Amino acid sequence: MPPTDAGQSAVATGQAVIQGYLKTLDASPGVYRMLNSKGEVLYVGKARNLKARVSNYARGTGHSARIARMIFETASMMFLTTRTEVEALLLEQNLIKQLKPRYNVLMRDDKSFPNILISKTHAYPQIKKHRGKKTEKGAYFGPFASAGAVNRTLNQLQKVFLLRNCTDAMFESRTRPCLQYQIKRCAAPCVGKVSPEGYGQLVADAERFLQGKTTTVQANLAAEMAKASEEMEFERAAALRDRIRALTQVQQTQGINPRGVAEADIVALHLEGGQACVQVFFIRANQSWGNRDFYPRTGAGAEEAEILTAFLTQFYDDKEPPKLILLSHPVEDEDLVVQALSDRAGRKVELAVPLRGEKAELVENATRNARESLARKMAEGATQNKLLAGLAEAFDLETPPQRIEIYDNAHIQGADPVGGMVVAGPEGFLRSQYRKFNIKSAAGANSDDFGMMKEVLTRRFERLLKEDPDRNSGMWPDLLLIDGGAGQVSAVSEIMAELGVDDVPFIGVAKGIDRDAGKEEFHRPGQRPFALQRNDPVLYFVQRLRDEAHRWANGAHVAKRAKAVGATPLDDIPGVGATRKRALLAHFGSAKAVSRAGLADLTAVDGISEAMAQVIYDYFNARG
């Protein structure tokens, strides 16, 4: 084992620990982990030559303050060798995401990005938003920066190209045009208002537009409008005019539309005061499809090159990189990053830091956005920290809470009960950590709010106790806010006592007199209820937290209720999947009609064999 003489200085001990491993290392590529005396991973790194890399840490001088602190804390190391340095890079980033070491750069938002999909599973293709794996047959266009960017584009595209957005089941069941046709956003292929050839031309035009061939599409529409006007088809000419206007509006709302950049991601970083903001702009088909800001953890003081290197490898871990990525700063090991991204894309990917021309202007614009976004966030963070300090003072907490969990329930007379958990901290609401709980006990059916809260908190804390008993993950709350008064607080006290969790403070937030916002009463175990001044910023803060929990729980309840309303007895029949369900509903019109059908009627449905018809018939007749 490496030497760990407690009498030596901490820095010397760290260097001695690292030095002790050099005897067993060779020049292989691989990944190393540095751990503190508690066994917590401080840092994950990759190396082309493990022995050479680790020997650098054993030197007594030449380290930045960040690396010196890391060496100071190092009590042991772990190693994994790989065949190539690219494998080491990918393994390094996977371990960083999994372990979240303190001294590594970590991208904290890894949500997927939405695309526009023109689905080709039907004779009349549907246009819709798509997120996730591209398993459905069709043409995908994206990524877009947000669901809002997709929805705005879809809204305008429907005005221009009149493509349907309804499901196949709804399409098959139509007997007359829907509202989308009435407001001129669909050509109504469901009832034959457009021929298959005509609809196919609309689909082709939409694809051309999304591929960047906007001039061709606009010229074709203008020619059609002129022809209709010459032939005195003034109504058709007016409709084409409206489509041209909508097309122009799409182009205007996209903002930056670079001429010389057909496909690229623009990745710009601004670093200030140990905090970083990375702006990513998506350019596809010479069009801007939005931007998103990210705030990676900087690993206790990493520089620009290391931050961008880590960001790129983590960001594109589950996303296909474009042909060109324009950067605001150079990255470390550029050849290695290029190879890793090219392997991910299955083609050549280029990294560039442009210095002049249109590309440099695009990067400068993204960098300005990153700088302004970080300034806003830092200002908001200062305000948030002040509110958390005020919350600690108002509720007599030892320190300002770093993680607040707010709980609420939603149901209608016990129907479709759902519990919601919202999380907030110094950075505001942590939406990626929100949770919903489908109530499984009889509490929901009995409209028992206490029982529902018991189930939610029991499930939440039993999982915490099982997965993180030592509380090292940062997922344990410092404060619970419960929607309710003395009764809720008493119930929560019993629940927490049963779980053996007696050091997490909780507060009940009751509406107070006349259930008026501003007159809230706060309840704590064993104490008299109290209120805050009506103009106290802490009161507004608590109201925001409670309202967000209420919004989240209600949204989850509405979604669950809508799903229940859309459910049919067909969902419970073995062997009846989505395709057969659509076929049955299209043929009979309703699940009730299916339940009354005879065997001969059932076998007349496309995709329903005699054996399957027997299963369906037996299911309904056995139920009486």
pLDDT at 308: 95
Answer yes or no: same fold for 264-376 and 401-563.
Answer: yes
Instruction: Tell me which of 3.40.50.1110, 3.40.50.300, 2.60.40.1930, 1.10.150.20 is the CATH number of domain 578-622.
Output: 1.10.150.20
511-527 pLDDT, tens digit each? 765 555 567 899 998 88
Pick the more confident residue, 153 or 541.
Answer: 541
Instruction: Name the residue among 419, 444, 417 with its Cα closest to residue 561.
Output: 417
For residue 523, the cross-strand partners are 508
Per-residue CA distances from 278 to 298, 308, 581 (Å)? 11, 8, 46
By the 8 A CB rule, do 71 and 11 touch? yes
Q: Between vectors from CA 271 to CA 334 and to CA 380, what angle results, nearest 5°?
A: 140
Q: What are the pLDDT digits (tens) for 30-40?
A: 999 999 988 89
Q: What CATH number matches the domain at 401-563, 3.90.226.10, 3.40.50.300, 3.30.420.340, 3.40.50.720?
A: 3.30.420.340
Q: How far is CA 172 from the centre of its chain?
A: 33
Q: What is the dihedral of CA 192, 195, 199, 201, to 10 degrees?
A: -170
What residue spans of 254-349 are helical by DSSP H?
A: 304-315, 334-345
Could you tell me the pLDDT band of residue 133, with boundaries at 50, 70 and 90? confident
> Is 585 a residue whose pLDDT tops 90?
no
Which of 141, 134, 44, 145 shows the shortest CA–CA distance to 93?
44
List phi, psi (to 5°) of 406.
-115, 130
Give the per-residue pLDDT at 480.
95
Amino acid (one-letter) located at 479: L
pLDDT reported for residue 11:
52
Contact 22, 58 (CB under 8 A): yes
* pLDDT surpasses 90 at 506: yes
pLDDT digits (tens, 9 = 90+) for 416-461: 788 899 999 988 899 889 999 988 876 655 667 788 888 899 999 9
Measured torsion, CA atoms of residues 347, 348, 349, 354, in degrees rounded to the nearest 10: -150
Which phi and psi angles does 126 have, rounded to 5°? -105, 140
| 3-state SS track over 179-243 | HHHHCCCCCCHHHCCCCHHHHHHHHHHHHHHHCCCHHHHHHHHHHHHHHHHHCCCHHHHHHHHHH
At residue 446, the pLDDT reads: 64
**Choice among 92-96, 401-405, 517-521, 538-542 with the minimum mean pLDDT:** 517-521
Q: Per-residue pLDDT tens for 249-293?
A: 665 555 556 778 888 999 999 999 889 999 999 998 888 888 899
Question: For the chain, which residues make up each domain, given as ranges?
Answer: 15-104, 114-253, 264-376, 401-563, 578-622
What integer is the mean pLDDT of 298-325?
Answer: 91
Question: What was the pLDDT predicted at 108?
Answer: 77
pLDDT above 50: residue 8: no
Q: What's the mean pLDDT when you consider all of the chain? A: 86
pLDDT, tens digit (0-9, with 9 covering 90-100), for 530-550: 888 888 889 989 999 999 999
Q: Are 423 and 405 in contact (CB under 8 A)?
A: yes
Question: E-strand spans in 519-570?
Answer: 521-523
The 10 Å CB-count burial string (b at 16+, else e) for 124-151 is bbbbbbbeeeeeeebbebbbbbbeebbe
Structural fold of domain 264-376: Nucleotidyltransferase; domain 5 (3.30.420)
The pair of three-digit structure tokens given for residue 351, joined into one six-digit string: 């990294």
Q: What is the pLDDT of residue 554?
A: 86
If pLDDT is split at 50, 70 and 90, which confidence band does 366 have? very high
In this model, does residue 353 exceed pLDDT 60? yes
C-alpha dihedral (591, 595, 598, 599), degrees to nearest 10 = 80
Alpha carbon distance 27, 338 (integer Å): 23
The CATH class given to the 15-104 domain equals alpha beta
Interhelix angle for 234-253 vs 214-230, to 10°? 160
